[in-house]
Every structure is written in C-alpha cells, then in structure tokens.
Amino acid sequence: MVGIISYGAYIPRYRIKVEEIARVWGANGAEISKGLGVVEKSLPDMDEDTITISVEAARAAMARRDINPVDIEAVYVGSESHPYAVKPTAVTVGEAIGATPVMTAADYEFACKAGTAAIQTSMGLVKSGMVKLSVAVGADIAQGEPGDALEYTAAAGGAAFVIGNDDPIAEINHTCSFSTDTPDFWRRENKPYPRHGGRFTGEPAYFKHVIGASKMMLEKMGTKPSDYDFAIFHQPNGKFPVQAAGMLGFSMDQIKPGLAVTYLGNTYSGASMVGLSAVLDVAKPGDRIFMTSYGSGSGSDSFDMTVTDVITSDLFHREAAPSVASLLADKKLVDYAVYAKHKGKVVMME
Amino acid sequence: MREVAVIGVGCTKFGEKWESSFRNLFVEAGALALEDANLSGEHIDELFVGNMSAGRFVEQEHIGALIADYAGLATENIPATRVEAACASGGLAFRQAYTAVASGMSDIVVAAGVEKMTDVDTSVTTDVLAAAADREWEGIAGITFPGLYAMIATQYMHKYGLTREQLAQVAVKNHENGALNPNAQFQKPITLETVMKSTLVADPLRLFDCSPVTDGASAVILAPLERAREFTDTPIKVLGCGQASSSIALHDRKDICTLDATVAAGNRAFQMAKVERKDIGFVEVHDCFTIAEICAIEDLGFCKKGEAGKLTEEGYTALGGKLPVNPSGGLKACGHPVGATGVKQVYETVKQLRGDAGKRQLDADIGMTHNVGGTGATVVCHIFGRA
C-alpha cells in the first residue's frame, strides 16, 4: 500500500525571539508572543535557502533508510521561496541524493500547502506504477515584510518524504482536498514580500478550508477524532491549529506532539510537514495519524495514515537523522541586527 | 409640513460579512424593510441612501442609482440619492427622507444606510475614516480617529476627573446590551478588566474603547402619518428632527469636550418634538469611542457636563437604569458600518417603541437617536414616539 517510505526534516540553527522583533518595532512583545502562541522563530544562515533546506531534509530521509537513489524517479519541491523564478529547486535535490538523471522533477507552489500537494502527486505516480519512489519536499525561507505581522512568525525549515509502495513506515489510507479561490494571502511577481487580508485570513480562509477538508476526511473514512493518536494541522501560529483542533473535537494531547510552531515559527510550505516529521519521530506501530495542511489562496489537503511496524524494524533507522525536537534544541539565538543580516535586509553599497 | 411615520424597518446582521458584497448588503436590508412594511418595490416613490465611502472601500460610486437598480426598481425610474456626511451619513439620509415626506414631495420613501468596510486592510480603513476629519489640518499631520477621540478623552479626564474605570464601564454596558441583540457584531458580555487590559490604541483609549470595523446595512421606510396604517398597525411617528454642523477640525472648537453640534442638533430635535429630556425613555447615541458616549449624554442635555461617567458607573444608563443608553449595544457592540449606523439607530428605536426588541425590550414611549459625523462636524438627532 502506498505510504511514507522515509522522512527527514531540517531546521536552520538560528533563532530570534518574537519579543526581540517587537522591541525593534516598538510593539508589546510579550502581548504579541502570547497572542500568536509563538515564542521564537528560526532563520537561515547567510548561505542557506530553500534549496539547501530541501537538500538537507532529503538527505536526512535518505540516511534513515537504505534506498537505492536510482529507484527515485520523481522529485517535487513545494515552496513559496524557490530561489529561482525559473530553474527548478527539485533538480538540485535530485542531484544531491543521486536520483538524476532518470527522473521527473518539478517545483510546486500553493502557498503553505505546496509540500502536501507534492505528497499527493507522488502518491498518484507511485500508485499508478509510473514511478517506483517519489520524493516530496515542503520547505521555505518564509517571507514577511519588516514591521508586518508576518515578520513575527515567518521562519525557515522544511521536511522531505519518500513516497513508495513497498514496506512503508506509515501507510497513507486516504487523502482528500478542499480548494476554493479565496485570496487571503498572496505575493505578486517580482514582489519580495507577501500581502495578506488581515483578519480575512482566519474564518473564511484558514478555518473554512482546514475544517472543510478535515470533515470530508472524517466522513469518508467513517472515523471520529478519538480514533486517531496524533493530529497535525497547518500551523501559521500557535493559535489557529489549536482552535481548528478544538472545533473538530481533537484534544491537546493529540496535537501537541506535532505542534512545532511555538519554538519554530511558520515555515510556510514546511509547516505541516515538519509537524508530521515530529509525530513520526515518536510514533509507534499501529498509531493512526490525521493531518490537514492549509495553503492560502486557498486549499487544504487532508491525510489519514497508519504507522506500520516497519518504523521500528531493521529496515528503518529513525535515529540516523536528527529528530525535530533535537533540531529545535540545537539553536543559537540572535538579535535583530544579525537577523537582518542573515535575511539579506542589510544591503551593501557597491 | 405633514407628519411622518416609519412603517417598516430592516437590518442585516452586522459584522465581518465576508460572504456579502456591498450590493448584497443593502438588498438584504431593503428586502427586510419592504417585507416588514408589507410593501413591494413599485410602491416606493423615492430613495435616499447614506454611505460614507464606497468609492474607497469597494471602488464603487453612484450609489443611489446602484441601490435602486439592485432593489429591482430600475424600470420604475424613481429618484435615488446618495447622502454623505461621514459617519452621520445614515442619520442624514433619514433626515432627507423625512423632509421629502414631510414636504409632500414624496409619499413612500426609503432611507437606507450601507457600508462594506472589510474589503480593504486596516491601514486603508483607518485612512478612509480619517477623511471624516480635516485632511489638510488634521489628516496630513498624521492624526487618525482614535487619536482625535483620545485627545478629547485626555482633556475630559483632566477637566472632569473621569476615571479610566468609568470610561471602561461604557464598553461593558454596551457589550451587555449587544449580547441581547441578534444583529450585533459582538454578542458577548465583557468585564471591566477585559477593557482595561486590552491593547492600547491611542492613550487613554484601548481596543475595547473603540467601535470595530464592520459591514452592514439598514433600511427603513417612511410614509405620511395619515397613510401609515395602510401598511402597519404599529407606525412610529417622527416627533423631532435636528441637524447641526460645526468646525470640521477638532482644534477649532471652543471646548473639545463639548460637541457643540450635538448640543444644537439635540436642542432643535427637542424643540420640534415639544418634549422634555425627562420624557425620553431611551437614547441610541453615537459611541464610536467610549468617550463619545460620555460626551453625548451630557451634550444632549441628559445631565450636567462632567456627570456622565459617574452616572454610567452607577448603572443609570444600563438597560434597567433611569435612562437606558444604547440598548442595541451601540456602535461598540453592534459594530459601526459607518453609512449604516444612523439608520440602524432608527431601526433599534422603532423596534423598541413597537415592543418588538426581544430580550432587550424596554418600557418606553419616546426614544431618541444621535448620529455623529467626524468629531462632531455633523450631528443628526431624531426623536420618535408611538403614533
């Protein structure tokens, strides 16, 4: 059955506190931090971008399992911050893991859910027999304009999933999507930062789609929230996923293991997938996982998964790559000046 | 002049109406008003609509004809006029409709108000609203509406010893009332602490001192009193109507704690209605900020200057008090779709006087409305009673 063959996550080491960003803009940091449910967020090093993050995550996935790279016949990378407008991130990932040249590859964009869309594409190719294995990555160096509300959460990180038919560590029982033309958040061509519709991003955008896809999934599978051991929801901040879980009837215990946002921030295309990685870091055979991503514009992809005993077998080496918890713990806090330098906000005169 | 009555009222739920466009809003309110008056479109002789800034909020001007058209009246070719006086646009549309009927020019006239404010982001909304002040002397200097009312509040607190708690009590009381109003944007009671600890917007005004950004529409139908019972068993008579203007810039006022246009418009409405302050059973005032309600109660003559804070604290203005103020929840809890607010005040007053106000029903014979544009450059007051 189609499922996750391996996975890996990557989070750059640097962090900045929400309060430090607020200090620079003369805002009430404690209040903003509490309001968003985010304490600190990750940021890239000078030489990190969505390509390097995707490569690190894909390499971590390869490290966890003895995969013949030649069997990887497709690579899809979902991101809002592909370094090139024209030239794929996915081929660099393919090269880095030795999957080239007999493979198909493409970059995806659907705001914060391009990574889960890549998983769905991979599932289709694998299930149809067109490819043996496919890699789906969601990664971002999330953009947020200095001084804008997004700046407090826009973070860096990503996760990669190898999708295949044979001996998955987690079977994907079903996936379904809920999409409409709802412009709550967007970035036009040649613009460095996204814009958003303020409060419009909540009820008619995030909640309508996350709840819509999740309910569709529960109905299709004939399940109820208590049937799952873990649930992951797209986490643009610490409040929305908790509210969505509450509206659907999931408990804090079910969502906490996959709620990485508090000390990570919003990694956009990486957000749900880093959450799923954190859950797979601790999941046991037989555990059932519910995941719903969200991408502005807008859509949600929902997944129902069951962890298999392969995850604790000799076929899989969970400890061969760092867990999300250890990536989060291995951190270096910086101030806004260093953050500005790392994010390329300090422009040198030529 | 003929005597005039309100024969039908309609109002949308106020709030962030993501699923309703500008035209959906007024069509909904208009249909409700027509249904309430047992009328159909071809009975309408004339239409006035209050709207502050559809041009900037939804890039639509020429609102009078648009409303008539989308109300299904395009083939009736009725006169349809947009009225603008910032946040007093609704109250002024009602006054125009009143004078049209009173003069004998038209018989069945619609007064509507509509605003769709959530299609633009907060900074644009703030700037659009700032156009209600003096752009050259206030707006360009950077002042916004919370800032202007914060200056009034600061001066008022200094002059009259109004406490922060008394100011907060206005919001607490209006949320209590709003919790009983199914059309209100906020239907949840709040505590004094919620107000006092909310985000500082413009010192001393906090988030819960400010009315929110809202979408909504209201419509009412007026007719000559002598014909009112053709349409309804409970016509509500317009007893008094007063409008006044004052300096557009706050700094040009003799005393920024007194909205002299409120004093003038209130006096004119009382003179025309031939009733006393003590006859008023309740009043819907323009509480765009908590301090605005304090000033309004005094400037309308219900108490001496400096006393409204204490009266609010003592429950004098609560639903069960001597003079209930903003039984609807006011702008604070109902929300403030700027062009619609003045008509919504009439809607609430008519509902109350008909005995049709549900859980917030008061026992009153006469009610009053008070609608303010800007910091008081335009004020429109009306007094209503059962016919």
Task: Tell me the pLDDT tens digit for each residue of A24-68.
Answer: 999 999 999 999 999 999 999 999 999 999 999 999 999 999 999
Q: How confident is the model over A116-136, as a mean pLDDT?
A: 98
Q: How far is B121 from chain A (nearest CA, A)?
A: 6
Classify residue A87 by burial, with Cβ atoms within 10 Å: 0-12, 13-18, 19+: exposed
Rounded percentage of chain B residues whose pLDDT exceeds 90: 98
Q: Report the alpha-carbon distance of residue B120 to residue A188 in Å, rounded.
A: 17
Per-residue model confidence as pLDDT tens digits over B43-80: 999 999 999 999 999 999 999 999 999 999 999 999 99
Q: What is the mean pLDDT of residues B120-136?
A: 94
Give residue A346's pLDDT band: very low, low, confident or very high (50, 70, 90). confident
CA quadruple A225, A228, A234, A237: dihedral positive or negative?
positive
Rounded to an integer, what distance in angstroms lies between the CA atom of residue A230 and that of residue B79?
A: 63
**How much is the pLDDT for B122?**
87
Distances (CA, A) of B303 to B159, B172, B181, B320: 16, 21, 27, 18
DSSP-assigned letters across all residues of B125-142: HHHHHHTTS-IIIIITTT
Interface contact B16, partner A, CB < 8 A: yes
Give the pLDDT of residue B135: 97
**CA dist., res. B145 & res. B371, Å (int):** 16
Asked if A204 lies within 8 A of B121 by C-beta distance, the reply is no
- Å between A40 CA and nearest CA of chain B: 21
**CA nearest to B351, candidates B342, B364, B338:** B364
Nearest CB neighbour to B118, from listed A28, A31, A200: A200
CA–CA min distance B257, chain A (Å): 30
Query: Cβ distance A279 to A326 under 8 Å?
Result: no
Any chain A CB within 8 A of the CB of B118?
yes
**Token code pair at residue A258:** 């996959």
Q: Across residues B78-102, what is the average pLDDT? A: 98
Residue A110 β-bridge partners: A112
Strand partners, A185: A196
pLDDT beyond 90 at B39: yes
Give the pLDDT mean for B108-128. 95
Among this protein's residues, is B87 annotated catalytic?
Answer: yes
Picking from B89, B106, B112, B90, the residue whose alpha carbon sits closest to that of residue B4 is B106
Residue A350 has pLDDT above 80, yes or no: no
Q: Give pLDDT, residue B343.
A: 98
Length of chain B: 387
Whether the predicted pLDDT of A94 surpasses 80: yes
Q: Which of residues 199-218 of A touch B (CB under 8 A)?
A: 199-200, 203-204
Band of pLDDT at residue A102, cut at 50, 70 and 90? very high
Check residue B252 and give its pLDDT. Answer: 97
pLDDT above 80: residue A348? no
Are the Cβ atoms of B121 and A198 closer than 8 angstroms? yes
B212-247 confidence digits (pLDDT tens): 999 999 999 999 999 999 999 999 999 999 999 999
Contacts of B194 in chain A (CB under 8 A): none
Q: Give the closest of A31, A198, A200 to B199, CB-based.
A: A31
- Active site residue ranges of A: 80, 112, 234
**Measuring CA to CA, which residue among A247, A246, A111, A116 is closest to residue A177?**
A116
Q: At what angle do helices B89-102 and B338-354 cross, to 10 degrees?
A: 60
Does residue B100 carry a pLDDT above 80? Answer: yes
Would you say residue B85 has pLDDT above 90? yes
How much is the pLDDT for B116?
98
Confidence of residue A198 (pLDDT cuts 50, 70, 90): confident
Confidence band, pLDDT 50/70/90 cuts, at residue A347: confident
Inter-axis angle of helices A114-128 and A271-282, nearest 10: 60
Give me the pLDDT at residue A19, please: 97
pLDDT the model gives residue B111: 98
